[in-house]
Structure 1
Amino acid sequence: MTDDSRDSALAPVSRFMAAAFGRHSGLEGKGVDELRTLVAALTTALLEGHICIELSERQRQLAARSLLTAVGSRAPLVLSGTRLYFGRYFGYESELSEMLVNLAAADDSSADREFKEKSRATMDMDPHQQRAVNLALTKKFCIISGGPGTGKTTLIISIISQLLDRHGTDLRIALAAPTGKAALRMQESIKTQLHELTLEPALAARFPAQATTLHRLLGLGRRPGRTTSQRSDPLVHDVVVVDEASMVDLAMMWRLSHALKKDARLILLGDRDQLASVESGAVLADCIDSLPNNVARLKKSYRFNRSIARLAEKIKTGAADEAWKSVTGSDNSAVAVAPADWLNACIAEYRHFLSLAEETADPIHYDAVFKRFKRFRVLCALRKGPSGAEEINLRIEQALKTMKIRTDAEGWYSGKPVLITSNDYDLDLFNGDIGICLPDSASDGVLRLWFEGSDGSFKKILPSQVPLHEPGWALTIHKSQGSEFEEVVVVLPEIDNRVLCRELLYTAVTRARARLSLVAQEDIFKSSVEKKTLRHSGLADRLAG
């Protein structure tokens, strides 16, 4: 469930949960109605990304009288101070906090001054980067927080190099990310950096070959009722590196922490100013706020376009007027308000892509097709409505069909992109994966859907096999997390919406490496910058002690 699609689920789910809890509460009369109201509010809060709700003293006393409520222990409802939880999420929060506190306090006994000083000399680093490397080498739990282009990939290569040099070939390292797109980009970035850096070939050869999704790493969905996150079957890895950690929700982080073997090292990479996870919790932000001794914040961007970086900084700090001036007063073409015919310009861009796709019939050259598609994207704040991703995709598809492109009987055509919206473990496809429809020269040019693997290879499936999906010309900003493009067009609605917030805009803006066009009215843009998302939980307090 993502962005504005949550709204349709709030009322019926909240009513169902309220009725179910009311029937078994042991309360009577007005007390039952009041408890139902609390349960409905808690359900709504959970669907909106919160872990708990705050209660008044009167509400707390009412909840405590219910047969379904326990104080500080597992039950259908749990009271902890003034906070009310569903029992499952109280368990996630309390157990995760205990594990992270213990992990954060653990030092690497094998690290010494020579080891730390050697890491400094490996590459030319600023003080923030030096701190990040030293933390990762000396702590069992480390968070490296920074925006795009701040050197997180370079640091990970330095860290892994030092760990491999110290611990030898037996060291087992996992690279993971919340989505397939993020895992692929993580692997691509590391591969590119390894080619550019002057590492010894023997050392470079010992780097992990692939990045994977957290779902795949933990074995989720493979065997019903059992995952590798069980304590009896821990991960074999000595080091687990998770990129795009802001996207990891409370439940997934709990599963990951449970899966770590004793003495494993956990390194989280992320940008705390991006959107929090789609599901409940803001684990990365809570950890950064409460575990400062385990956090390194990267400040300088080495790759980001300066105009885009300035705009992102204004949005991040909530400076709405200055942010708008950064868009309208930019003295270069990197950041601008989109012209009135912006959609026609997007369609023209995609027509060029389709021409390339139609001319490319050999899978040997499909890498160029995928690279070309990654160059440009339309990002929408909403899924539905006249400016939502569904409508923009429809309009783009209708316009592209005027090119008289060749389609098969089911309407598939060469170059059609699809976004997977559900997990299919048999096909090894996951929510957020991008595929492109292209001919298969091994099957007389029959169209197949091709997906890029983190190792640079491609796998193909029949269009009839594809799981739930939607066109990939325009994405919601939520779905774009974990991706970067050379050029981005960001589309905001003409009227305000609860989805619009500072984190959403920051995430959208930082998807663009070189050029950003904004489709937005001034008042909507400014109000979005001024709205900061806060998620209620007790994790930060628990971590802080």
Structure 2
Amino acid sequence: NQLPSIGPGQILKDLIESDDIPVVRLDALYRQKEDSYITTLAHSIKDGVILPDLVSKKDDYNFIECRKDEIKNMILKLCEMALEKKYSYKEIQILIPMYKGINGIDAMNNMLQDVFNPLNNETNTFTHNNITYRVGDKVLQIKNNNDLNISNGDIGIIEDIIYKKGDYTIYIDFNNEIYEYTAKDFDDIRLGYAISIHKSQGSEFDIIILPMDLAYNRMLYRKLIYTGVTRAKKSLMIVGVKEALNKAIINEREEIRQTSLKEHLNKTKDINSL
């Protein structure tokens, strides 16, 4: 049930299908409690089954049905309520299939920045690629940085922004370690209040908010939504159009990639058996 890599290739899939290495399949979900509705929903999505109580409220799950033009405001209210209940924005993650559109990642980040990290007169800022970053912002690493040992998909917090001699330097906390970013590194980050489901793979968050909009179109497919749902540890909130989630659950779309790793492995195996 792993999503393919964002870049070329499908190394994990080819290795598994080569029958050339030992494979262990994990069937149990340990991120959530055994009686969690999130677990029940995840298993049903994996099997392509639409549960009759999909639009409902459970202890750890809530589907809030609304029109596509209401999704952003509903997410805004949910985030404000979470903050009132003393949840930190570090515990809340919005996962979205695509960047563009009224309910895309870019629009959502613009809104959520003012909710989670409002600007004041004492806040240091800097602007890059039309995004104004603030001290305290949650940011997402979008490329591997081998020099700093920071991976694509890591999430950090901007701790300081310093302007000196015409150049900006920003200091970002990743996993309780502070890293220095200069101009050459600025293309590697973006706001991280809302991130793509692809970027979230391998991570987990206490609270996940998952908007559902039919405009996500080709990104509404089973593996992607399964990945988004299973990132939630304690609470999952789905906001939007029920038909969009139904479409994703029944859509078995597989991305076909032209690779040759499996064939090369099988050739090597045949040669070694001679």
When residues 383 and 508 of structure 1 are mapped into structure 2, their CA distance, relative to the original with a 3 A threshold, is same
| 1:500 Cα offset (Å) | 2.0
Q: CA deviation at 1:279?
A: 2.0
Separation in 1 of the partners of 2:32 and 2:20? 26
Amino acid at match of 1:477: I
**Partner of residue 55, structure 2:** 328
Deviation at 1:517, TM superposition (A): 0.6
Task: Write the letter of the residue equivalent to 1:497.
Answer: N
Shift of 1:387: 0.8
* 430-439 or 512-521, larger mean C-alpha shift: 430-439
1:452 aligns with 2:178: no
CA shift, 1:381, in A, is 1.1
| Counterparts of 2:59 and 2:65, CA distance in 1 | 12
Task: Return the offset for 1:458.
Answer: 1.2
Change in 2 beyond 3 A, CA 1:302/1:379:
closer
Amino acid at match of 1:488: I
Counterpart Cα distance in 1 of 2:20 and 2:28: 19
Change (3 A) 1:448 1:532: same
- 1:480-531 alpha-carbon deviations (Å, 9 max, x no partner): 1121001100123232522221111011001001110112312211111122
Partner secondary structure for residue 313 of structure 1: helix
Residue 214 of structure 2 aligns to a residue in which SS?
coil
TM-score for both structures, normalised by structure 1:
0.40
Does residue 346 (structure 1) correspond to residue 66 (structure 2)? The answer is: no
**Structure with larger RCO (C-alpha < 8 A, sep 6+):** 2
Residues 381 and 493 of structure 1 are in contact (CA less than 8 Å); yes or no, is this contact kept in structure 2? no
Question: Which is helix-richer, 1 or 2?
Answer: 1
2:15 corresponds to 1:287: yes
CA-based RMSD of the aligned residues comes to 3.4
Q: How does 1:306-325 map to 2 (within 5 A)?
A: 306-319=36-49, 321-322=50-51, 325=52
| Distance (Å, rounded) in 1 between the aligned partners of 2:148 and 2:17 | 39
Cα distance in 2 for residues equivalent to 1:430 and 1:293? 26
- 2:198 matched to which residue of 1? 478
CA contact (8 A) 1:452 1:458 kept: yes
Match of 1:518 among 224, 228, 238: 238
281 and 423 in structure 1: CA distance in 2 versus 1, 3 angstrom threshold: closer
Seq. identity, %: 27
Bigger Rg over Cα: 1
- Residue in 1 aligned with 2:71? none
* SS of structure 2 residue aligned to 1:419: strand
More strand by share: 2
Aligned to 2:138: 417
Distance 1:350 1:277, change over 3 A: farther
Consecutive unaligned residues in structure 2, runs of 5 or more = 67-73, 127-131, 162-168
> Following the alignment from structure 2 to structure 1, what is the Cα–Cα distance between the partners of residues 90 and 125?
28
In 1, Cα distance between the equivalents of 2:179 and 2:104? 30
Shift of residue 337, structure 1, vs aligned partner? 0.9
Does the Cα contact within 8 Å between 1:501 and 1:531 map onto a contact in 2? yes
Tell me if structure 1 keeps the 8 A contact 2:55–2:64.
no
Q: Contact conserved, 1:421 with 1:470, CA < 8 A, in 2? A: yes
Check 1:279–1:351 CA distance in 2 against 1; reply closer, same or farther (3 A cut): farther
- Which residue type is aligned with residue 485 of structure 1? F
Provide the secondary structure at the position in 1 that maps to 2:62: strand
Shift of 1:406: 3.3
Task: Name the structure 2 match of 1:278.
Answer: 6
CA displacement at 1:435 relative to structure 2:
2.3
8 Å contact from structure 2 (residues 95, 228) kept in 1: yes
**Letter paired with 2:45:** I
CA–CA distance in 2 between the matches of 1:396 and 1:373? Answer: 10
For the residue of structure 2 that corresponds to 1:327, the secondary structure is coil
Question: Is residue 435–residue 449 contact of structure 1 (8 Å, CA) maintained in 2?
Answer: no
Which residue, out of 144, 157, 166, partners 1:436? 157
Pick aligned residue for 2:103 from 387, 390, 395: 387
- Cα pair distance change 1:346/1:381, threshold 3 Å: same
State the TM-score, normalizing by the size of structure 2.
0.74
Structure 1 residues 531 and 281, CA, compared in 2 at 3 Å: closer, same or farther? Answer: farther
- Check conservation: 2:212, 2:242, Cα contact below 8 A: no
The separation in 2 between residues aligned to 1:506 and 1:423, in whole angstroms, is: 25
**Is the CA contact (8 Å cut-off) linking 1:437 and 1:450 kept in structure 2?**
yes
Structure 1: 5+ residue runs without aligned partners?
A: 1-272, 357-371, 441-446
Post-superposition CA distance 1:259-291 (Å, at most 9, x none): xxxxxxxxxxxxxx0211112333323433442
C-alpha contact 2:139 2:190 (8 A) present in aligned 1: yes
Q: How many residues align?
A: 244
Q: Separation in 2 of the partners of 1:288 and 1:423? A: 24
> Any residues of structure 2 matched to 1:365-380 within 5 Å, and which?
372-380=88-96
Whole-angstrom distance in 2 between the partners of 1:428 and 1:297: 29
Closer/same/farther in 2, CA of residues 418 and 405 from structure 1, 3 Å limit: farther
